[in-house]
A and B are shown apart, each in its own frame.
Chain A
Amino acid sequence: MTHQPNPTGIGAALKRKEDPRFLRGKGRYTDDINLPGQSYAYFLRSAYAHARIKKIDTRAAKKARGVVAVYTSADTAKLGGLPCGWLIHSKDGSPMKEGKHPVLAEGKVRHVGDPVAVIIAETLAQARDAAELVEIDFAELPAVVDMAKAQNKGAAAVHDVAPDNVCYDWELGDKAAVDAAFATAAHVTRLELTNNRLAANPIEPRAAIGDYSSATGEHTLYTTSQNPHVIRLLMGAFVLQIPEHKIRVIAPDVGGGFGSKIYHYAEEALVTWAAAQLERPVKWTSDRSEAFLSDAQGRDHKTVVELALDKDGKFLALRESTLANMGAYLSTFASVIPTWLHGTLLAGQYTTPAIYCNVKAIYTSTVAVDAYRGAGRPEATFLLERVIDLAALETGRDPVELRRLNFIQPHQFPYQTPVALVYDSGNYQATMDQALKAADYAGFEKRRQAAKARGKLRGIGVASYIEACGIAPSNVAGALGARAGLYEAATVRVNPTGSVSVMTGSHSHGQGHETTFAQVVSDKLGIAFDQVEIVHGDTAKIPFGMGTYGSRSIAVGGSAIVKAMDKIIAKGKKIAAHMLEAAEGDMTFENGAFKVAGTDRQKSFGEVAFSAYVPHKYPLDTVEPGLEETAFYDPKNFTFPAGTYICEVEIDPDTGAVEIVAFHAADDFGNIINPMIVEGQVHGGLAQGIGQALFEHCVYDDAGQLVSGSFMDYCMPRADNLPSFNVATSVTVCTHNPLGVKGCGEAGAIGSPPAVINAIVNALKDYGVTHIEMPATPQKIWRAIRSAKKK
């Protein structure tokens, strides 16, 4: 179809529709909602990492001022456990070991923060006061913190079903082929590394309000979720055994998720259940301290990676062995993160012919670990891009040239990797060249010398990442253990006067869907941007959809909207053909008008919409009135964004302090709907990736206490830690979705940690430093320099 440029269509850098309400404090977050007769819940959480509960005495608390109810597992044991959404099989074929994840601790507590009781009172202060009156007799058990020691004979078991604390022992790839390749390799590079444990820390902590109508038997849950329908399904079917038509889940404005708000949490089920018990609303809002102890955390891998190269530097094989921390319970998608979202990414942008990956998932006495921005893919990218840099260092090659030598070439797409994925499109050389040029890579040595004259150690680091977004298709995922579908749904409702409401299963909590999705509709239907309303976050309003995670919203959710619009246009042609007394086959739709091909006869989109709802001159015998269509889109494949990031650092050798002096990102996200929003997504991802590389760390002591459990010790990246980012994009189109889009939400967090660490190691090359663990704190760098000086 011929297309006139649409100022509010695809490609326009429109300002975000949602920002006026956010910037003026008019957003409506869960904690902003207060219902008549509302009570307040306070969760009494374990201070021990591992302890048997001998006795709980709630009598005094129940009598305290303002207390409505006090519940323990004695009241909730009949409820189901919180389910895990993906079944992983170990290499011996056995299913993963799943210990029950109760809503309130049953018999023992398994991590600091494990909820033991909930106190519901007229005010939060009264609930907290009463919580101090609950007497719990704990018998402390040894905490399981270190993943290697957790498997030792005699170590305490977090769950009886997993006496050695191993949840599963999973493998992917051809081990024999990899072993054979290593045997003939000219060079083998080996690296042990840790992917540091992180807390997502969205600016809005989690919150939940349960409400119940005894008149209708309907339960309503307001919650800070990235996927309200998934919560409704899991909570209704598995935990509370309430049919879905009697549950409404509303995720209103949500202040960031980064993965941590995907999962179904105990507090959601508890307030929903308690509201029905008490026949009054029950509200819970986490504070920051509680978030550190109860939100699922991210990463936490211990890895050994080996890369085999031939004499020319071609990669022959890659071998990875990883311990992945699950925490104390299997969170909703915990099991799939270090497996199918990790091992499958190990080819990266390279033609490595043989890859083998072995991941052991370990239960520990720590809060659950699940997806955090990138989810498995940052861990894969980090180990791969670090071992490549180390191989370059060991074999005296330029790290850029070594990557170039092994890149998958543009003519090789679609490219089948040895770890299950088929990449549909990409041009890795192009993004690499774009980044090298932006960074003036060739001129780096001059900058290093200039820094040296100022007493600083300057380093440059390159990392080329690949991401797999929009996990799919459902049938393949199902065969790999998924216990849910992976499609997205959309309803496009054309209103009688031609405005459009789009009900999407995707959920926006910072992504700007209300803007980008409206641009897609404006573009496709040729109507004004402000005539499009994006409705999301309420299961009573939207079709069953899977929500937002894994950079899937535009690729999967956007495609569902396009499919629904295709149906609208097809129906509109029938209506317009009748109105214009033309044959349906002669109708075209372009720039917002239905036309009889080759003539100037046309009906506007609005006229056709009006006719659909006021069907006076209308083909009622063949076409239903109304103009509303729903589509479910199940992708044929993942999408594969990719790019190259280049980081330059300067290190103060006296203190070990690192400054990022330049950061260049070159990404291929396929087609781009709103370049301003994409740039913002990259900035945010880079900030979090740099946060992982330099600052953030969940540190547990041997007793299982989170030592970095507040912002006084858990270091979030701040504006003054970050340079002005230089970001650019280039495009290879996704070949299998209608928009040609790939997704951009996680790339920054995936590609940046190895770029930063590669730059630091490069800066320290004169000291013989080969690796620095994340976060690369000044103290670690100072120690690396000092131990090199001693040698």
Chain B
Amino acid sequence: MHDFKYARPASLAAAATLVKKGGADPVFLAGGQTLIPALKMRLRKPSTVIDLAAIKGLDGIAEKKGKGKDKGLTVVVGALTTHAAVAGSKLVKARIPALAALAEGIGDPQVRHRGTLGGSIANADPAADYPAAVIALHAEVVTNKRSISGDAFFKGFFETALKPGEIVTAVNFRVPDKAAYMKFAQPASRFALVGVLVAKFGAEVRVAVTGAGASVFRVPDMEKALAKSFSAAALDGIKVSPKDLNSDIHAAADYRAHLIGVLAKRAVEACG
């Protein structure tokens, strides 16, 4: 890897200062599951690597009641919570089993024990699993500066609403009535070739798709049909256009479009 400076601040404030003083291209290190390989392959040449691991209070899982007009329960997952911790959390399994199952399906045991929720969504890999949960579960992304609606968080291919120096501190997932995540894994990387998370909140249904496009997206036709009748049959005949979907050596756009339909139905069935 190229030479870089390494810093391990003990607080968010110290991290923010380091960003300002960290040279031309400072970068945050969470679980390092994307950054470290990129450094080793010399694909990134940061001026300073700011390791967030020593900052207290950025991991852990809790639940809280909603405020104001929204009285719903949310599950709050700290940004540095590992995928393994989410997958194994009794609270997540009880409140949003689909989220625990999603985390259990990320990477391999090594990745799940190092990789973090905050690192994953800040990186915004189009084939990552968590973005589907952020969108379908009405999440709110909390940073050291503000709170961002999940719907406004992902801006495109490896692109988010985060400003330079902004650090994700937690993600609040709204607890659905029911939800299920179905993933068709890219065989080599085991990232999502297509992943579909279907969640039902009263009369509202959300269908979020990851892996298929430049960034996670919703399928309004499916959401409308499922809001009318929450059954796999309600999705019959609803086609997703392959236009703008990803094509690569593993799957062409039309195959991905087809898989969205199959996985959405299976997710609805899995919701029971």
Q: How far is the CA of A214 from the CA of B3 in the complex (A)?
A: 36
B259 with A712: CB separation less than 8 A = no
Determine the chain B residues whose CB is within 8 A of the CB of A708 once the complex forms. 188, 249
**How many A-B Cβ pairs are below 8 Å?**
39
Give Cα distance in the complex from A289 to B187, angstroms.
Answer: 19
A128/B42 contact (C-beta < 8 A), A655-B259, A782-B255, A782-B258 known: yes
> What 0/1 pattern do residues 1 to 27 of B give for CB contact below 8 A with A?
111000000000000000000000000
Task: Decide if A129 is an interface residue (CB 8 Å cutoff).
Answer: yes
| Residue of B with least CB distance to A652 | B262
Minimum CB–CB distance from A480 to chain B (whole Å) comes to: 38
In the assembled complex, the Cα of A687 lies from the Cα of B41 at a distance in Å of 29
Contact residues of A: prevailing secondary structure: loop
Is A715 an interface position by the 8 A CB rule? yes
Q: Cβ of A779 and Cβ of B250 under 8 Å apart?
A: yes
- Are the CB atoms of A655 and B262 closer together than 8 Å? yes
**Min CB–CB distance B206 → chain A (angstroms):** 23
The reply to whether B249 and A713 contact each other, CB–CB distance below 8 Å, is yes
A715 interface neighbour in B41, B184, B188, Cβ under 8 Å? B188
Does A714 lie at the interface of the complex (its beta carbon under 8 Å from any beta carbon of B)? yes
Residue B245 at the chain A interface, CB threshold 8 Å:
no
Q: Which of B172-203 contact A (CB under 8 A)?
A: 184, 187-189
Contacts A707-B249, A779-B251, A782-B255; A715 near B187 (Cβ below 8 A) = yes
Known: A695-B187, A715-B187. Contact between A129 and B252, CB under 8 A? Answer: no
Q: Which residue of B lies closest to A132 (CB)?
A: B42
Residues in chain A near residue B1, CB distance under 8 A:
125
A129 near B187 with CB under 8 A, answer no
Looking at the complex, which one of A125, A657, A711 makes contact with B188 (CB distance below 8 Å)? Answer: A711
Chain B residue contacts of A160, Cβ below 8 A: none
Q: List, in ascending order, chain B residues with CB within 8 A of A401's CB.
A: none
CA distance A707 to B252 in the complex (A): 15
A 706-728 to B, binary, CB cutoff 8 A, 1 in contact else 0: 01100111111000000000000
Q: What 0/1 pattern do residues 689 to 707 of A give for CB contact below 8 A with B?
A: 0000001010100000001
Collect the chain A residues with CB atoms within 8 Å of residue B251's CB: 779
CB-CB under 8 A from A777, the residues of chain B are 187, 250
Give every chain B residue within 8 A of A715 (Cβ-Cβ). Answer: 187-188
Q: Which residues of the other chain, B, contact A716 by a CB distance below 8 angstroms?
A: 188
A120-139 interface with B by 8 A CB criterion: 125, 128-129
Kindly state whether residue A19 has any CB partner on chain B within 8 Å: no
Residues 216 to 272 of chain B near chain A (Cβ within 8 Å) = 249-252, 255, 258-259, 262
Number of A residues, CB within 8 Å of B: 23
A654 at the interface (CB under 8 A from B): yes
Interface centre among B41, B188, B259, B262 (most CB of A within 10 A): B188
> How many whole Å from A454's CB to the nearest CB in chain B?
14
- Distance in angstroms between the alpha carbons of A230 and B129 in the assembled complex: 50
- Across the interface, do A129 and B249 meet the contact criterion of CB distance under 8 Å? no
Q: Please state if B189 and A654 are interface contacts (CB–CB under 8 Å).
A: no
Q: Is the CB of B252 within 8 A of A779?
A: yes
The reply to whether B188 and A714 form a contact with Cβ atoms under 8 Å apart is yes
Q: Report whether A655 and B184 are in contact in the complex, using a CB–CB cutoff of 8 Å.
A: yes
**Bound complex: CA A655 to CA B259 (Å):** 7
Whether the pair B189, A713 counts as a contact (CB closer than 8 A) is: yes
Contact B255 A779, beta carbon cutoff 8 Å: yes
Question: What CA separation (Å) do A783 and B256 show in the bound complex?
Answer: 12
CB distance from B108 to the nearest CB of A (A): 9
Question: Residues of A contacting B249 with CB < 8 Å?
Answer: 697, 699, 707-708, 713
Task: Report yes or no: A289 in contact with B188, Cβ–Cβ below 8 A.
Answer: no
With A128-B42, A655-B259 as known contacts, state yes or no: A712 contacts B252, CB within 8 Å: no
A289 and B41 contact, CB distance less than 8 A: yes
Using Cβ atoms and an 8 Å threshold, which residues of chain B touch A655? 184, 259, 262
* Interface contact A654-B188, CB-CB below 8 Å: no
Q: Give 1 or 0 for each of A244-286: 1 = CB within 8 Å of chain B CB.
A: 0000000000000000000000000000000000000000000
Among A125, A129, A654, A707, contact of B262 (Cβ-Cβ < 8 Å): A654
* B205 CB, min distance to chain A CBs, angstroms: 22
- Across the interface, name the chain B residue whose C-beta is closest to A780: B255
B10, chain A: closest CB distance, angstroms: 29
B195 to chain A, nearest CB (A): 13
Contacts of A778 in B (CB 8 A): 184
Residues of A within 8 Å of B188, CB to CB, are 695, 708, 711-716
0 or 1 for each of B80-123: is its CB under 8 Å from A? (1 = yes): 00000000000000000000000000000000000000000000
When each residue 183-194 of chain A gets 1 if its CB lies under 8 Å from chain B and 0 otherwise, what string results?
A: 000000000000
- Closest A-chain residue to B251, C-beta based? A779
- B199 CB → nearest A CB, Å: 22
Contacts of A125 in B (CB 8 A): 1, 3
List B residues 21-45 near A (Cβ within 8 Å).
41-42
Closest to B42 in A: A128
**CA of A778 to CA of B252 in the docked complex: distance in angstroms?**
12
Are A712 and B189 closer than 8 Å at their CB atoms? yes
> How long is the Cα–Cα vector from A655 to B184 in the complex, in angstroms?
9
Q: Which residues of chain B have C-beta atoms less than 8 A from A783's C-beta?
A: 255
Residues of B within 8 A of A711 (CB): 188-189
Mask: chain A, 647-660; 1 = CB below 8 Å from B; 0 = not:
00000001101000
A762 CA to B187 CA, complexed, in Å: 23
A711 and B252 alpha carbons, distance in the complex (Å): 20
Residues of B within 8 A of A713 (CB): 188-189, 249-250
Q: Which of B41, B187, B251 has most A Cβ within 10 Å?
A: B187
Q: Which residues of B contact A657 (CB under 8 A)?
A: 184
Residues of A within 8 A of B3 (CB): 125
Q: Which residue of B lies closest to A710 (CB)?
A: B188
Contact A129 B250 (CB under 8 A): no
- State the CA gap A289–B40 with chains docked (Å): 11
A residues less than 8 Å from B252 (CB atoms)? 779
Contacts of B258 in A (CB 8 A): 782
Question: CA separation between A783 and B255, bound complex, in Å?
Answer: 8
Whole-angstrom distance between the Cβ of B202 and the nearest chain A Cβ: 30
Neighbouring A residues of B250 by C-beta, 8 Å: 713, 777, 779
- Shortest distance from the beta carbon of A711 to any chain B beta carbon, whole Å: 6
Complex: A342 Cα to B126 Cα, angstroms: 44
Complex: A779 Cα to B193 Cα, angstroms: 11
- The residue of chain B having its C-beta at the shortest distance from the C-beta of A775 within the complex is B187
> What residues on A are CB-neighbors of B184 within 8 Å?
655, 657, 778
Smallest Cβ-Cβ distance to A696: which chain B residue: B188
Q: Which residues of A contact B255 (CB under 8 A)?
A: 779, 782-783
Can you name 8 A-B residue pairings with CB atoms under 8 Å?
A654-B262, A699-B249, A707-B249, A708-B188, A712-B188, A713-B188, A715-B187, A777-B250
Interface contacts beyond A654-B262, A713-B250: sample of 5 additional A-B pairs, CB < 8 Å, sorted by A:
A129-B2, A655-B184, A697-B249, A715-B188, A783-B255
Task: Rank and list the top 9 A-B pairs by shortest CB-CB distance, nearest first.
Answer: A715-B188, A712-B189, A715-B187, A654-B262, A779-B255, A699-B249, A713-B188, A779-B251, A707-B249
